[in-house]
């Protein structure tokens, strides 16, 4: 798994080394194509991403769509979560957001 697949690098001249640029994740609007599920026990965002997208590095899509920003490792199996289906549009938004840096 490459968690930083979508993160650009830059050279920090002061430190004389390469560093990661901040990744700005786009807002993910609610769409008719989104599906809603209840996570399985002990399931995390990357598990859901792998199950629905075949790519666990897209964990951030699940987290961003569900406002998961607290560092919670496991998803609450009692709460329904949204799984966006329009990945192509989300990835285009990601690229355009991060061209600013």
pLDDT digits (tens, 9 = 90+) for 6-50: 666 777 777 778 777 777 888 999 999 999 999 999 999 999 999
* 87 located within any domain: yes
Residue 25 placed within a domain? yes
Token duo for residue 89 = 């549009």
Which residues make beta-bridge pairs with 18?
Answer: 11
Residue 4 lies in a domain: no
pLDDT tens sequence across 77-88: 999 999 999 999
49 within some domain: yes
Q: Give the CA angle between residues 16, 4, 71 to the nearest 5°.
A: 110
Phi-psi region of 23 (alpha: psi -120 to 50; beta: other; left: phi over 0): beta
How many domains does the structure of the chain reveal?
1
Measured CA angle at 10 (ends 87, 73), to 5 deg? 50
Tell me if 18 is assigned to some domain.
Answer: yes
Give the range of the structural domain holding residue 13, as residue numbers without chain letter. 9-98
DSSP 56: G
Cα gap 20→30, rounded to integer Å? 30
Please give the model's pTM, rounded to 2 decimal places.
0.76
């Amino acid at each position: 798994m490459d968690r930083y697949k979508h993160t650009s690098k830059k050279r920090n001249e002061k430190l004389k080394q390469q560093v990661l640029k901040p990744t700005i994740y786009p807002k993910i609007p609610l769409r008719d194509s989104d599906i809603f599920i209840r996570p399985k026990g002990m399931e995390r965002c990357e598990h859901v991403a792998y199950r629905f997208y075949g790519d666990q590095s897209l964990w951030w899509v699940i987290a961003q769509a569900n406002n998961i920003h607290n560092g919670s490792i496991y998803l609450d199996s009692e709460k329904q979560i949204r799984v966006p289906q329009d990945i192509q549009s989300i990835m285009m938004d990601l690229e355009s957001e991060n061209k600013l840096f």
